[in-house]
Chains A and B, each alone.
Chain A
């Protein structure tokens, strides 16, 4: 921070304090960055170098993209990447559409059936369905081995709904009344008044949905065949491959993917969402807090 940004009432900091702060901040930054660096470096190292270094490499002596080539060759991971992007985009849009309309309806006083519907939704928050009931439902809906099975069962997230509903309730009633006086119906009010005022909350909720869809892997293993798996489930198999063979009673031995491949997997899984994050981060605190501490 430049010197002139210091308020007049604050003393000029002593060099020791400045240095102390610098050291502390550097330490914190290193704590965050070094593990990332190690992951990227290990993914770029050769298998022999990784073994010689005991599993981790801070700076590869002969960087190679072999691990990435191993993963991306064959088209499985690239196909899975396409699936993940598709599911994340379509899922986020559908989830946002449903959550916005539902939150808007529930935020308006006197909406027909508002209270029972809200209680019903909150009930699912308290008592989420188990794995097998969910599976049977998805099966009966005919969604097995269908990408819809990754979206429809988690279309509306109760937490996101409550945040958005709270945010909508925080918009001054006068604005709604003014819009009504101008002859606007509910759709018009939602589109022209509520949504433009809720960008921060929408960005946060959208990010929550997107991250959830991007990260989801478990249900894919239950509902989809392996050639339809999204990225995270495919990448997971690289990480856990062979790890279950340690059972003492089986003569089977451990066969594992090299550490370089596992680290490359982490990079591929993390980077896309890291790229999106900074653009939405500025809305983050504002959006969540506004919804949560409605007066």
Chain B
């Protein structure tokens, strides 16, 4: 067996000790300076909406999505020419599906390759392995990196910004300001997505995956809640009363999954507590956990639990099992991302009428909703010559085609007649092959994607209901002020510190800890790094505004 080279050994030891070092030296960022403070900031790419089919329900600047009650009949072409030159492009992204059939036997893959004019070598990372796989990718050599890498937003990777800054191509010259016009579909990505992705050291390194404004949402069983007395303009007291009334026998009004802190996001937003971080006019960052309204939300949830309204296994049931319990009526509600509306409506057909709950008001103030980060991760490119970068950006421009374009249809549904057929209303319906070969299993949508719209195939009423819900709630969305900002302490210790708070919230609502414990835990959290995070965010915020 060949022996390890000295360099490898040293690299190994250094890499192995990295997490420890990070925790120990969290006061200094170390390595390259990723902060935007004191840097000349590259202008965000100039937003230019793409031309396409007119939506039936108009979007608003505040963040209400465009709604399509029917699939557009006349699809547009959003890309003028084949982006590739026949070369091979290595890509890597997270996946929430199962591995795709190999390229040689996959007609979806082949069709996309033909349209893009490149051969795609795809490294799939199952989301469950994402952190570990990325640790090895980041420890490897720069040459070994794939050409296109999706940085998934679900986890905080240690020194992610530093990795991006040293290993990825600076895309500022290609995308900043008017330069993005060369890639019309990338120019169609709204500025809020770029902003929530953020700059690193003042520069633009990635392409964001745009997401709608509403984040965690309370999905209710409409009939169960209406029967129990849900009404427009309800208050927190009404909510508690409805939850209690809808609960009987083995039916529970409130379902919550492990790790959701009894659906804390929805309740703290209804209580108008800052989601993560709030920023004052003078630029001071205040943590949500130290806000009295957040504490009030915990107390309110504790009351709901004491009243027996929560499903008893709310600290241990998985989100997957909870979804089953929601569909069969065991629980009357569950917290899930807003993006879950598609499976919620399609999978519950014939069982129940799902709906996004309007937030209740607290002490006369209308309830808020959680604003999601508008960028669900971002895509970076390996350093390369100008021509190569331009080719890769053209490929991503194709993948970012907007809804209502031929390119969008190909990337999302495959080839007509092979992967999908047209339903009565013209919307694509997957064939048997489309169930296996699709963009869940070949997750091109995590490399680049156009702005998302509201569309539920064959269910125009659902689209209208969701659009109406957004119009009512979007003005009260509460955004985490730290989105798109850099904090070295958060990069290094964010996960540990968050766990400290999360465990306590769960403990209090579950009745294992008294509410009086909360203030002490917040002080501990502040001392261990929370205050430092506030300073770092404030500094980065000041540099960005």
Contacts and interface: CB of A to CB of B under 8 A. Distances in A.
Interface of A: 50-55, 70, 73-76, 79, 129-133, 135-137, 139-141, 152, 218, 221-222, 225-227, 229, 233-234, 236-238, 240-257, 259
Contacts of A141: 1-2
Nearest to B257: A246
Q: Which of B95, B102, B130 has the most CB of A within 10 A?
A: B102
Contacts of A74: 101, 436-437
Interface in B121-149: 121-130, 132-133, 135-136, 139-140, 144
A248 B13 contact: no
A79 B132 CA distance: 25
Nearest to A144: B144
7 contacts: A244-B96, A244-B154, A248-B216, A250-B153, A251-B213, A254-B336, A255-B440
A129 B11 CA distance: 13
Nearest to B318: A243
B72 interface: no
B370 interface: yes
B127 A252 contact: no
B344 interface: yes
Given A131-B136, A237-B98, A244-B127, A250 B376 contact: yes
B135 A241 contact: no
B341 interface: yes
Contacts of B543: none
Contact of B320 (A139, A242, A249): A242
B260 A248 contact: yes
A42 B373 CA distance: 38
Contacts of A244: 96, 127-128, 130, 154
A245 B486 CA distance: 23
Contacts of B435: 70
Contacts of B376: 250-252
A226 B123 contact: yes
Contacts of A237: 95, 97-99, 126, 128
Interface string B200-244: 000000000001111110000000000000000000000000000
A252 B103 CA distance: 27
A246 B11 contact: no
Given A244-B128, A251-B214, A254-B340, 4 more contacts: A133-B16, A237-B128, A249-B216, A251-B215
Given A52-B328, A246-B260, A222 B97 contact: no
B126 A252 contact: no
Contacts of A55: 321, 324-325
Interface in B371-397: 372-373, 376
Contacts of A255: 96, 340, 343, 440
From B16, B96, B127, B327, name the one whose CB has the most chain A CB atoms within 10 angstroms.
B96
Contacts of B103: 227
A76 B99 contact: yes
A249 B126 contact: no
Contact of A54 (B2, B211, B325, B351): B325
Contacts of B121: 225
A139 B136 CA distance: 10
A141 B5 CA distance: 10
A256 B322 CA distance: 11
Contacts of A52: 328
B450 to A, nearest CB: 16
A246 B336 contact: yes
B100 interface: yes
Contact of B12 (A137, A241, A256, A257): A137
B101 A245 contact: no
A248 B132 contact: no
Contacts of A73: 432, 436
Given A131-B136, A245-B337, A250 B101 contact: no
Interface string B290-321: 00000000000000000000000000001111
B324 A222 contact: no
B4 interface: yes
Nearest to A141: B2
Contact of A137 (B8, B123, B370, B436): B8
Contacts of B96: 241-242, 244-245, 255
Contacts of A53: 328
Contacts of B338: 251, 253
A54 B276 CA distance: 34
A129 B99 CA distance: 29
Nearest to B259: A246
Contact of B212 (A240, A249, A251): A251
B62 interface: no
In the complex, the 5 A-B pairs of residues with the closest C-beta atoms, listed nearest first: A253-B340, A133-B12, A251-B372, A248-B265, A132-B15
A238 B215 CA distance: 25
A130 to B, nearest CB: 4
B135 A254 contact: no
Contacts of B144: 139
Contacts of B125: 221
A55 B319 CA distance: 12
A238 B15 CA distance: 31
A141 B3 CA distance: 9
B243 to A, nearest CB: 20
A226 B436 contact: no
B15 A133 contact: yes
Contact of B328 (A54, A130, A218, A225): A54
Given A236-B126, A237-B99, A259-B324, A253 B343 contact: yes
A230 to B, nearest CB: 11
Contact of B132 (A222, A234, A238): A222
B339 interface: yes
A50 B440 CA distance: 23
Contacts of B123: 225-226
B342 A253 contact: yes
Interface in B318-369: 318-321, 323-325, 327-328, 330, 335-344, 351
A152 B2 CA distance: 12
Contacts of A259: 320, 324
Contacts of A75: 101, 105
Given A133-B16, A247-B154, A249-B372, A54 B330 contact: yes
Nearest to A259: B324
Contacts of A54: 324-325, 328, 330
